[in-house]
Structure 1
């Protein structure tokens, strides 16, 4: 691990992002992780774990997926048209920074409306980054109609992106196998549609929308909110992939942060290995309620990678 790279940072702010937990995740990887050929991530989000593996050349093939088609469009635009994306985001950034706070707020809601009401793929990608950096806490949330509805974040001078990082991410997404095909396959669908890609030579990292850790917490990542029924369906899929012989890791919130008697995940994944790790989360609107909480790492193996 001493010789491995941590250079690539996610290009999005993301509620529940895994950058801060990366060391714990790496420490819990299966012992034979370097012998596995494929990496599958059904809920890629901002991709902190995926980019770590890709930058350090862990696997021969990578399949990343997300149900959010606008997020997947952004990944594809970064791969295929990084220069155009950088130009568009810089244009939006320049327009934003020259405005006072009332003007910034007006521009934010104009861009949000365009993002929701249909636009070109390059506009959608640039609007996604703009809204992510200027909305409240970098949340991504949709209403029942599938419209992004997070309010303005009141940021005077947000950091939009690092151009060098974005070009490096584009380079990594363009890596080819010896047969000339992309090493990274980018998909847009439900997690259970990845069944065909998973076998005994696969490492799967599940990072689904978290079960809320605060009363009235955040669940509406997409128009079909990921509720307890969805968590149970995911557990069933996890079990099926375990039978296939794949190595599996899943992260989620720890319900015990809110209610010590809530054993939802302990019961759901009682057949597997559950480890509690500490994370600092800042998505609570009450400053005094922000701080270290426990999160869960659930694996179907015990032998972990040597530190």
Structure 2
């Protein structure tokens, strides 16, 4: 059993891995390659990379979500203490009757404690995982005050403490440098042979699909700033792969990304996504954009 993402995360990239693999540089398994992921989120691509390419020289991850990054750091440094606390939360949560007030009150109390952000790092990480495992649809969403506001979910017996996986995650994160801040800071950790995988907050395809992972908003200005960052990566000869939503639909001829990344290779891929709380999934188009450095390597490779 390999280490796998320890969170449920909306928009996770597990269904895109086969397509991302096609775009990796041909020399990606070399010992001198650096891999940097500035928007790590739930880490689907990260753990796939760590499991399948163990010879990478250096791995750097970053996210602006401080609560998320704290959880990565705690798992890396203090897995046993975290697991013991998660066991307590799990036993307590299971002790309440399903769909009864006691369980909902317990959930609400832990959410309030989490939002106070007065707990120590390990407790805060345990609360983060507990809420992720027990909230509605495993959704992470905060308001403008950075308060987690997702209601309780309807899971009968959610796995709050996945001890075996957390131990594996802790071990595999030992080789990872973990940052928290603006993605541009990641550039300091790149060298000549670096691959960036950029998975920013997706541009909403409609008003319903818009929600915040942090109290900041990743609007069109931020999408353009990220494109400008990609241009800097070009100048420095770094490879990059970027994923985003395909806002150009049958209903809406939006050419935002086609125009923004007109100098690059834009791949449209079909991805199955679960929509809301519907057990059925829906096929959506998403974008995988690569720069010319990657493109040139692929031409040689193919």
Tell me the TM-score normalized by structure 1. Answer: 0.90
In structure 2, the partner of 1:76 is 73
What are the within-5 Å matches in structure 2 for residues 22-37 of structure 1?
Answer: 22-35=17-30, 36-37=32-33
What are the within-5 Å matches in structure 2 for residues 1-307 of structure 1?
Answer: 7-35=2-30, 36-56=32-52, 57-100=54-97, 101-102=99-100, 103-118=102-117, 119-174=119-174, 183-257=175-249, 259-285=251-277, 290-300=281-291, 301-302=294-295, 303-304=297-298
Cα distance in structure 1, aligned partners of 2:24 and 2:149: 36
| 1:41 shift after superposition | 0.4
Cα distance in structure 1, aligned partners of 2:273 and 2:143: 23
Cα distance in structure 2, aligned partners of 1:33 and 1:273: 19
- Contact 1:37/1:202, CA 8 A, preserved across alignment: yes
| 1:258 shift after superposition | 7.0
Cα distance in structure 2, aligned partners of 1:187 and 1:53: 18
CA gap of 1:236–1:258, structure 2 versus 1, over 3 A, is farther
Q: Secondary structure at the match of 1:114?
A: helix
Cα distance in structure 2, aligned partners of 1:158 and 1:214: 31
Q: CA RMSD in A?
A: 1.9
Tell me the TM-score normalized by structure 2. Answer: 0.91
Structure 2 residue runs without a partner (length 5+): none
Cα distance in structure 1, aligned partners of 2:161 and 2:263: 42
In structure 2, the partner of 1:177 is none
Q: Secondary structure at the match of 1:34?
A: coil
Cα distance in structure 2, aligned partners of 1:20 and 1:162: 22
- Contact 2:35/2:60, CA 8 A, preserved across alignment: yes
| 1:259 shift after superposition | 3.8
- Contact 1:219/1:225, CA 8 A, preserved across alignment: no
Question: CA deviation digits over 1:152-179, x for unaligned, max 9?
Answer: 21222122243211101111112xxxxx
State the number of aligned residues: 293
Q: Secondary structure at the match of 1:256?
A: coil
Q: Secondary structure at the match of 2:109?
A: helix
